[in-house]
Amino acid sequence: MLVSTIDALEKFTIVEAASGFEALRLLPREQVDLIITDINMPDINGLELISYVRNNPNYQLIPLFIVSTESGDKDLEKGLALGANEYLVKPFNPQKLQELICKYLG
């Protein structure tokens, strides 16, 4: 939700999912090159999403960033252990996000 307002990279199309379920629905439909997800979501949590993505042959290789608050420390570690590539702690520097995006998507 928040990411789309600061992302000045016009090269990319941003598809927002308002919840974990929407993300699950969007994945087969859109050609997704990068996933950025929160840990706390109303239906499935971010870790479960990562688990789903990494265990699915179709999406295994998509770069994945997790966004979290500092107090979610243990969850962050689990996310990385499950296969997330990078993490960002809120409030995060938009510059940092831009750098990471460039790093993974060229």
Partner 1 sequence: MSVEENLGKAVKDFLAEAEEILDQLSLDLVALSDCADGGECSPDLVNSVFRAAHSLKGLAGMFGFSEIAELGHHLENLLDALRLGRTALDQAVVSALFEATELLSVLVRNAGESGGEPVDTSGVVQRINDCLAREPKGSQASPLSRLKLPERVLNSMTEYEEHRLLENVKRGRRIYSIRVSLLLATFDSELMELTEQLKQVGEVISTLPSASGGLEAGIDFEILFGSELSASELTPLVEREHLSIVRFGEETELPAPLEDEFHAPLPIEGSVTAKSMSRTVRVDIGKLDILMNIVGELVLSHSMISEVAARMRRDGFLAPAQELVKAAKGLEKKLSELQKGVMEIRMIPVGQLFEKMSRIIRKISREQGKQVELKLYGADTELDKLIIEDISDPVMHIVRNAIDHGIETPERRRALGKDEKGTITLSSFQKGNHVVIQVDDDGSGIDVARVKQKARELGMLGAGEEVGDREALEFIFLPGFSTTDVVSEISGRGVGMDVVRTNIAALSGMIDLENRPGQGTRVTITLPITLAIIKALIISAAGRTYALPITSVLESLLVEKGEIRTVERKEVITLRETTLPLLRLSEFFQLSGAGEPPESFYVVVVGIAEKRLGLVVDDLLGQQDIVIKSIGETFAGFRGISGAADLGDQRTILVLDVGSVIGEATRGGA
Write out the residues near partner 1 by the rule CB under 8 A.
Answer: 2, 5-6, 15, 18, 21-22, 24-26, 28-30, 39-40, 42-52, 55-58, 69, 71-72, 74-75, 78, 81-82, 90-91
Rounded least distance, CB 47 to partner 1, Å: 4
Comparison of 71 and 95: residue with beta carbon closer to partner 1: 71
Please report the DSSP string for the chain in residue order.
Answer: --HHHH---TTS-----SSHHHHHHHHHHS--S-EEEES--SSS-HHHHHHHHHTSTTTTTS-EEEEE-GGGHHHHHHHHHHT--EEEESS--HHHHHHHHHHHH-
